[in-house]
Chains A and B, each alone.
Chain A
Amino acid sequence: MNYELLTFIWFVLLGVLLTGYAILDGFDLGVGILHPFIAKDDRERRLVMNSIGPLWDGNEVWLVTFGGALFAAFPVAYATVFSSFYTAFFLLLTCLIGRAVSLEFRSKVHTPAWRKFWDIGFFLSSFTAAFLLGVAGGNVMAGMELGPKYLYEGNLLSQVYWYPLLVGCLTASLFALHGAIYLYLKTEHELQARARRFITKLFYLFAGLYVVVSFATFLHVPHATENIANYPILWIVPVLNALAVLNIPRAMHLGKPGYAFFTSSMVIAAFATLFSVAIFPNFMLSTLDPAYSVTLENARSSRGTLQTMLIIAVIGMPCVLSYTVIIYWIFRGKTKLDSNSY
């Protein structure tokens, strides 16, 4: 297979992994963000946590695999992106650790103070993780201060300004909305009614931010629309994105929460696709000199490795998908507490 095509396939596959991660971990991060607001007593808190109990760990694997695949397929991009976001990524790691152990440890001791501690930990880590993912995405979109030989010359402060922060808010609100729809599907009675009210509020918040970030992107990141301008067929992505956004309240109104969840998943997929389209053919655009950018071409692995990895992916992905389906099937239906619950 042709080297250029292989490179492109791996760019697309990384997009697929990132999309899978955002859709799946998106709802459980969202559940974490909503946790302190939506659940009124200890039983409800446990229900909310157990709605994602069997699934969050597998969802996070998409991120781990994305990291591994980026390392293998585009090592230069992996090295540059990860070392540039040094502080932000260590905070993200702190959050991912915090979330895992908050879930695992919360119900292990029966004192209110213990549970309160892990509840706060669960919320803070979920929210910050979602927010930081958005901030990182915003920075990559806008380009970063990359000097010669892929050396990042900026610092934490140059990553924290209005545009990435806005994208961070957008991501957190989208995940929260996605999580609220998921909770609506997994809960009953009063808790479910509360989830319904959250969906409406979060939708307005998200839709508002969506409009603001769209304008901000046109103004601040002019190169983001270049690819769409060059290939008008790509207009289909933002159009579908907008339609999907509008379809969320419609589906809820029609009383089809499953359809609404599918739609919010599609919104996330559309965002991930827009992101990939916007940055192509770069992984990290240098704002100092475009010649310093990390591109698909200068970041990729050898042809042999890309080919081997493609074989690995072709063997592995069907397995992954089949047992993902089995697990989601086994844990379908409303969340109930039993002796195995958190």
Chain B
Amino acid sequence: MMDVEILSRLQFAGTIMFHYLFPPLSIGLGLQLFLCELSYYRTRNPAWEAAARFWTRVFAVNFAMGVATGIVMEFEFGTNWAAYSRFVGDVFGSALAAEGIFAFFLESGFLAVLVFGWDRVGPKMHLFSTLMVFLGSMFSAVWIVVANSWQQTPAGYHIVWQDVQGEMTPRAEVTSFWGMVLNPSSVDRLTHTLIGALVLGAFFVASVCSYYLLKNRHHEVARRCLSIALPSALLFTVLAAVTGHDSAQKLVETQPAKLAAMEAHFHTSDEPTGLTLFGWPDTENETIHFSIKLPYLLSLMVYNDPTVPVPGMDQIPEDERPPVWLPFQTFHLMVGLGTMMIGIAGLACWSWYRKTYEQKRWLLWAVVFMPLAAMTANQAGWITAEVGRQPWIVYPSVQDGVEMMGLKTADGLSESVTAQQVLSSIILFGIIYSLLFAVWVFVLNNKIQHGPESGEELTEYKRKLKADSMSEKFGQSGKSHGGDMLEEGVR
């Protein structure tokens, strides 16, 4: 039987990675959807409305998955990590509660108007609702990333010892709310995470539209959406690189162990530090096999100075070192994919500008597959950040010159929960999530294959809907259905 710690970590990693497939897409798609609707609102062109209605349908499927899998995370803090919850509740809980009250109500409320309100509210109200849903999902990310960042770089708190039935037990208490919210890594991590989501959304729209062009379908809608999606993909991939660089630079002060793990930098020396491009880290022998190393570059990137050596893993006490292989590989994967995405987005924009994009089938196909790259990069970044902070669940930190204790992951567990219980929940959720994933892919594919209505179909649908509601007003027995779109339930 495996032990509770490993199982609980597996369970948390699994459920959060599955959850994390959806919110970034919701955030990214939210922006694209808003831009489509804004264009509709300004031009009143039915093709823009058809596009917005189509992306709404895709958005709704994805959003429902995000909501459904998100509640699991909130419950798991209490069910599996009770000791952690008692330790951080004073700090972490308020961010979570703020998310509920400031973000969830906003997004779920206006989601109703976004999804079900097309024929009930005017374009202005609908546009406003779309904006609110987009902002709501951004606020949600804000509070979650703040809560997570506090664990990585805690601030604005002190440790209080409480007498729990005869045993003195520590817990973190907030001393400054804003100090906690704006902890040293909040802003950097937040911008990088949000931009990662916007990259995914832009590439997702670009991908589906490029697919339509390849298959000779829905040209009108596809071209319009591409004119928004491609430039935003380029903008956000570049911004992702900039913000990623900023985040990494901070690590040398806040979490040197994570930085050393990401670079598999085992030995500190007086020489400037090089950057490893590829390799296979071997923790036991403290070396990297098959590596290609560029001299001076890591020092330059971290300190903006090629000569200052970067501290390595040997500066970290042995029992506080994170695993190296996984953060190294996921970090390099993320950077590699990011570079590739900048390249593809740049090429696509250039040829779009030259009006040759639609002839370059290889480029269209490349863009079709970019959402996978973006999603993988998001996941890889998350793994780097979370595995790189082990064995700490809450990092130790220095507040006003006083050293504060941290909390190790192993000490955060629920003591009353057995390995058997965790294992059965992993199996249960493994089955449910596999089923869900299959259904999600299937339904999403269905939506994409069906595609948007054309401008004319939409105009016809609206005419029928109007006729129906008129006949009802005058007490005649109007048809109960308003045309093909109703029958189909094509939402």
Contact = CB atoms under 8 A, between A and B. Distances in A.
The answer to whether A and B come from one shared complex is: yes
Interface of A: 43, 46, 53-55, 57-58, 60-61, 63-65, 67-76, 78-87, 89-90, 93-94, 96-98, 100-101, 103-105, 107-110, 148-153, 291-292, 298, 301-302, 304-305, 308-309, 312-313, 316-317, 319-320, 323-324, 326-327, 330-331, 337-342
B120 A331 contact: yes
A41 B421 CA distance: 41
B67 A60 contact: yes
Interface string B149-173: 0000000000010001101010101
B77 A61 contact: no
A90 B428 contact: yes
Interface in B21-50: none
Contacts of B118: 338-340
Contacts of A63: 71
Contact of B414 (A70, A83, A319): A83
A68 B100 contact: yes
Main secondary structure of the interface of A (DSSP, over half): helix
Interface residues of B, number: 88
Interface string B449-491: 0000000000001000100000000000000111001101111
B352 to A, nearest CB: 32
Contacts of B442: 109
B94 interface: yes
A86 B79 contact: yes
A71 B491 contact: no
A58 B108 contact: yes
A315 to B, nearest CB: 8
Contact of A339 (B93, B424, B446, B486): B486
Nearest to A108: B443
A89 B75 contact: yes
A298 B82 CA distance: 15
A114 to B, nearest CB: 10
Given A65-B97, A96-B71, A76 B428 contact: no
A122 to B, nearest CB: 13
B211 to A, nearest CB: 19
B177 A61 contact: no
B105 A58 contact: yes
A337 B486 contact: yes
B97 A312 contact: yes
A83 B100 contact: no
B1 interface: no
B446 A83 contact: no
Given A55-B112, A83-B78, A83-B80, A71 B443 contact: no
B97 A86 contact: no
A38 to B, nearest CB: 19
A339 B77 CA distance: 40
B175 interface: yes
A63 B100 CA distance: 9
Interface in B79-100: 79-83, 85-86, 88-94, 96-100
13 contacts: A68-B74, A69-B100, A71-B96, A75-B90, A82-B77, A100-B68, A101-B439, A104-B65, A108-B446, A149-B169, A330-B120, A337-B480, A339-B118
Contact of B109 (A317, A323, A337): A323
A83 B443 CA distance: 35
B404 interface: no
A79 B89 contact: yes
Nearest to B116: A54
B288 interface: no
B64 A100 contact: yes
A90 B431 CA distance: 13
A227 to B, nearest CB: 25
A54 B461 CA distance: 22
Contacts of B436: 97, 101
Contacts of A75: 85-86, 88-90, 93, 171
Nearest to B102: A316
B78 A82 contact: yes
Q: Which of A64, A89, A320, A326 is most buried by chain B, counting CB atoms within 10 A of its CB?
A: A64
A301 B112 contact: no
B121 interface: yes
Interface in B90-134: 90-94, 96-102, 104-106, 108-113, 115-121
Contacts of A60: 67, 71, 108
A104 B488 CA distance: 15
A301 B90 contact: yes
B320 interface: no
B94 A80 contact: no
A151 B112 contact: no
Contact of A324 (B91, B93, B105): B105
Contacts of B113: 54, 327, 330
Given A86-B79, A93-B75, A301-B89, A341 B489 contact: yes
B491 A340 contact: yes
B72 A93 contact: yes
B61 interface: yes
A83 B82 contact: yes
Contact of A68 (B99, B106, B112, B482): B99
B461 to A, nearest CB: 7
Contacts of A337: 480-481, 486, 489
